């Protein structure tokens, strides 16, 4: 696709998706039945009666009722008359003798309006619900986002959107102990907890006569052991809730797993710096150097071998002369990576490490593998399936750009396979920057949006991996797996698919071992074992100093070629998802 042709699609995609946030947040309700706040109103309308009759004898074959002016729609005709009669009517030719009153020789069916009758009907209206938020008081102006000088107060707020109605009380439990506050604000003094935190359940009562949904939060308050300001002890304070309104929201993956990050500084590969300088790397990427030389972005004319090996990678001489270009290229996306990480609350270093391991930051499509891969994160058709299925917010924003709204309302899982394939193809196209008339064959302007899609794909894999763990253990992921290992299992899910992860977790459980990475990594089947190397590479990569193991080289080609864009309906190919020779779908809850 030419660069000009992409502009319209990318503008729409970027405008609708740039600020979208993945949900999978848990909101709990007060009753077993779904929360409903509804009222009935009576409205007047005109009911139109139409008859579907035969030309030959004017015999009535079907009645159709509509509530709008004009002809019945095709859907209305099929609903009242069935598909067979609809097809007969649709195939009916004009009756030339009708104007003279002679229809005996005419074939087929015709529509005519019989009556228009005033009617009334009762309509059920969904009313806006009370909403609630929580924040902290007494934890301002600290040096770190989750460190307070003293134990703060938890603040709950509620809002009644209905006119002339108001919040009468806020109720809930803190670690099982009930509390209640009159009005629309409630301040709850917190106390020190263990590292697992405590659960807060809260809801609001309304003068309308009902209550809000029940919401859930996890709160952790742990002594840092060091002063927060140089003079007084500090406290690590973390809150996991989709109702958080106290500044930077918690990691959406942490919420999906109900797992707090480990106390103290994160591991280097889970770091989330604020500035691009902290992501700078200087890795000798041989594959990237080869691509830059091949596409004329680095000059290797001084090398006797042209700077390239037969397989398209850089030779020793090629890497040496291209080194400055390699350093510049691998760091030019750091600002976008940090922006996506902040938008979707992901570790920026993990995103960069993932791109480095998958593509060495060369975003062109890879078509010489069994599975086609696109973009810096090497998105496959199965990866596109994951983000569409496990990221409902992404699906809701993306689907109407490709399919009609009526189809999108069904949800991804309920779509016909043909529509699913079309959506998967559209997602892979959106992250593929291959461009026939662009320098180097890459449209760099597309990468901002592409990086955001990969960030949302990582979030989708967080949710899917969490569900796999929950299906295996029967418990929420944060209760059985450490925060760091949850990220490792998410990387397995991203690279090899949920089938590989499920089998390894099951085998570990059968051996009676805890679900640690050390234990689980020993149980991957042969077709899934590349996931171990992938995870070790991503999590061992450090900024600047540590060389990154290279991915398997592509098939040898004498002359580099610019890949063409993917079709909208890529062909599914076998791979490690599900694992070879094994059914990878033990329950529908884990793998819809």
What is the SS3 assignment for 90-106?
Answer: HCCCCCCCHHHCCCCCC
Give the 3-state DSSP-derived string for 526-567, with helices as H, strands as E and coil as C.
HHHCHHHHHHHHHHHCCCCCCCCCCCCCCCCCCCCCCCCCCC
CA atoms of 33 and 39, how far apart (whole Å): 17
In terms of phi and psi (left: phi > 0; alpha: psi -120 to 50; beta: otherwise), the region of 263 is beta
What are the CA-CA distances from residue 381 to residues 2, 35, 413, 580 (Å)? 22, 36, 15, 18
CA atoms of 524 and 370, how far apart (whole Å): 21
List, edge to edge, every strand of the sheet that includes 131-137.
131-137, 153-159, 185-189
Tokens, residue 150: 């003293």
Q: pLDDT value at position 448?
A: 86
CATH architecture type of domain 131-241: Sandwich (2.60)
Q: Is 393 helix (H, G, I), strand (E, B) or coil?
A: helix
Within 13 A of 23's CA, how many CA atoms are on the CB side? 12
Q: Is 482 helix (H, G, I), strand (E, B) or coil?
A: coil
C-beta atoms surrounding 18 within 10 Å? 14
CA atoms of 176 and 424, how far apart (whole Å): 45
Tokens, residue 131: 């909403």
Residue 265 CB contacts under 8 Å (≥ 6 apart), including other chains: none
List, edge to edge, every strand of the sheet that includes 215-227.
147-148, 233-240, 215-227, 198-206, 167-174, 177-182
Phi, psi angles (nearest 5°) of residue 185: -140, 140
What would the pLDDT profile of 296-344 be if each residue is shown by its tens digit?
999 999 999 999 999 999 999 999 999 999 999 999 999 999 999 999 9
Q: Do 184 and 158 meet the contact criterion of CB atoms below 8 Å apart? A: yes
CA atoms of 334 and 271, how far apart (whole Å): 14
Q: Do 525 and 584 meet the contact criterion of CB atoms below 8 Å apart? A: no
Phi, psi angles (nearest 5°) of residue 52: -105, 115
Q: Which of 497, 375, 495 is nearest to 429 (CA)?
A: 375
Residues of the chain predicted below pLDDT 50: 1-33, 228, 542-592
Q: pLDDT value at position 249?
A: 76
Within 13 A of 124's CA, how many CA atoms are on the CB side? 3
CA atoms of 499 and 578, how far apart (whole Å): 5
How many residues comprise the chain? 592
CA atoms of 23 and 15, how far apart (whole Å): 19
Q: Do 147 and 234 meet the contact criterion of CB atoms below 8 Å apart? A: yes
What are the CA-CA distances from residue 572 to residues 373, 498, 567 (Å)? 12, 17, 12
Element at 137 (helix H, strand E)? strand 131-137
**pTM for the full predicted model:** 0.75
Q: Do 179 and 186 meet the contact criterion of CB atoms below 8 Å apart? A: yes
Q: pLDDT value at position 465?
A: 97
Burial class (CB in 10 A: 0-12, 13-18, 19+), 261: buried
Tokens, residue 114: 């019989």
Q: Report how many helices (DSSP H) and strands (DSSP E) the chain contains, helices first.
A: 16, 12
C-beta atoms surrounding 103 within 10 Å? 18
Q: pLDDT value at position 140?
A: 75
Q: pLDDT value at position 420?
A: 95
Tokens, residue 402: 């490709």
C-beta atoms surrounding 118 within 10 Å? 8
DSSP string, 158-208: EE--STT--EEEEEEEETTEEEEEESSEEEEE-----TT-EEEEEEEEETT
What are the CA-CA distances from residue 285 to residues 80, 290, 315, 530 (Å)? 65, 9, 11, 20
Residue 515 CB contacts under 8 Å (≥ 6 apart), including other chains: 469, 472, 473, 480, 481, 485, 505, 508, 509
Phi, psi angles (nearest 5°) of residue 110: -140, 155
In terms of phi and psi (left: phi > 0; alpha: psi -120 to 50; beta: otherwise), the region of 345 is left
Positive or negative, the CA dihedral 148, 154, 155, 157 is positive
Q: Do 461 and 454 meet the contact criterion of CB atoms below 8 Å apart? A: no
Q: pLDDT value at position 104?
A: 73
Q: pLDDT value at position 71?
A: 95
Give the residue extent of every domain in the chain: 3-23+273-540, 38-90+107-125, 131-241
CA quadruple 180, 182, 186, 188: dihedral, nearest 10: -40
Q: Is-cis flag, bond preceding 578, omega within 30?
A: yes
Within 13 A of 34's CA, how many CA atoms are on the CB side? 3
- Placement of tokens 């694992």 in the chain: 579
């Amino acid at each position: 696709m030419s660069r000009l042709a992409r502009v319209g699609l990318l503008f729409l995609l970027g405008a609708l998706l740039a600020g979208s946030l993945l949900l999978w947040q848990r909101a709990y309700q007060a009753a077993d039945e779904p929360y409903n706040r509804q009222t009935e109103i009576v409205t007047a309308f005109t009911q139109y009666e139409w008859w579907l009759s035969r030309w030959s004898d004017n015999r009535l074959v079907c009645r159709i009722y509509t509530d709008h002016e004009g002809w019945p729609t095709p859907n209305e005709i099929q609903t009242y008359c069935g598909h067979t009669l609809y097809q007969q009517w649709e195939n009916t030719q004009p009756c030339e003798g009708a104007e003279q009153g002679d229809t005996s020789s005419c074939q087929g069916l015709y529509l005519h309006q019989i009556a228009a009758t005033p009617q009334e009907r009762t309509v059920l209206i969904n009313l806006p619900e009370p909403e609630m938020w929580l924040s902290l008081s007494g934890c301002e102006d600290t040096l770190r986002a989750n460190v307070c000088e003293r134990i703060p107060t938890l603040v709950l707020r509620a809002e009644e959107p209905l006119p002339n109605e108001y919040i009468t009380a806020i109720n809930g439990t803190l670690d099982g102990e009930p509390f209640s506050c009159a009005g629309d604000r409630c301040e709850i003094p917190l106390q020190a907890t263990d590292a697992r935190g405590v659960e807060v359940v809260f809801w609001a009562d309304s003068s309308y006569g009902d209550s809000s949904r029940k919401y859930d939060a996890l709160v952790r308050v742990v002594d840092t052991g060091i002063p927060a300001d140089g003079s007084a002890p500090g406290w690590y304070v973390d809150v996991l809730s989709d109702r958080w309104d106290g500044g930077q929201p918690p990691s959406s993956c942490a919420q999906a797993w109900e797992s707090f990050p480990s106390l103290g500084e994160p591991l280097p590969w889970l770091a989330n710096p604020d500035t691009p300088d902290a992501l700078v790397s200087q890795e000798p990427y041989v594959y990237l150097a080869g691509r830059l030389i091949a596409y004329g972005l680095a000059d290797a004319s001084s090398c006797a071998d042209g700077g390239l090996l037969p397989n398209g990678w850089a030779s020793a001489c090629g890497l040496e002369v291209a080194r400055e270009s390699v350093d510049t290229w691998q760091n030019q996306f750091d600002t976008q990576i940090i922006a996506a990480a902040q938008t979707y609350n992901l570790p920026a270093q993990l995103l960069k490490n993932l791109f480095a391991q998958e593509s060495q930051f060369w975003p062109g499509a890879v078509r010489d593998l069994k599975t086609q891969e696109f973009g810096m994160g090497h998105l496959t058709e199965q990866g596109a399936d994951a983000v569409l299925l496990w990221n409902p917010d992404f699906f809701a924003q993306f689907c109407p750009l490709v399919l009609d709204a009526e189809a999108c309302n069904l949800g991804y899982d309920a779509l016909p396979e043909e529509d699913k394939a079309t959506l998967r193809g559209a997602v892979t196209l959106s992250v593929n920057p291959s461009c026939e008339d662009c320098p180097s064959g890459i449209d760099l302007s597309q990468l901002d949006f592409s990086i955001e899609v990969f960030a949302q794909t990582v979030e989708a894999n967080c949710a899917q991996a969490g569900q796999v763990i929950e299906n295996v253990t029967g418990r929420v992921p944060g209760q059985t797996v450490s925060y760091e290992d949850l990220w490792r299992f998410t990387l397995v899910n991203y690279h090899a698919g949920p089938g590989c992860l499920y089998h390894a977790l099951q085998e570990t459980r059968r051996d009676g071992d805890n679900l640690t990475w050390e234990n689980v990594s020993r149980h991957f089947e042969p077709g899934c074992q590349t996931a171990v190397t992938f995870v070790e590479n991503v999590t061992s990569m450090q900024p600047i100093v540590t060389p990154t193991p290279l991915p398997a080289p592509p098939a040898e080609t004498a002359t580099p070629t610019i890949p063409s864009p993917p079709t909208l309906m890529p062909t599914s190919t076998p791979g490690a998802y599900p694992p070879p020779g094994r059914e990878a779908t033990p329950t529908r809850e884990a793998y819809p």
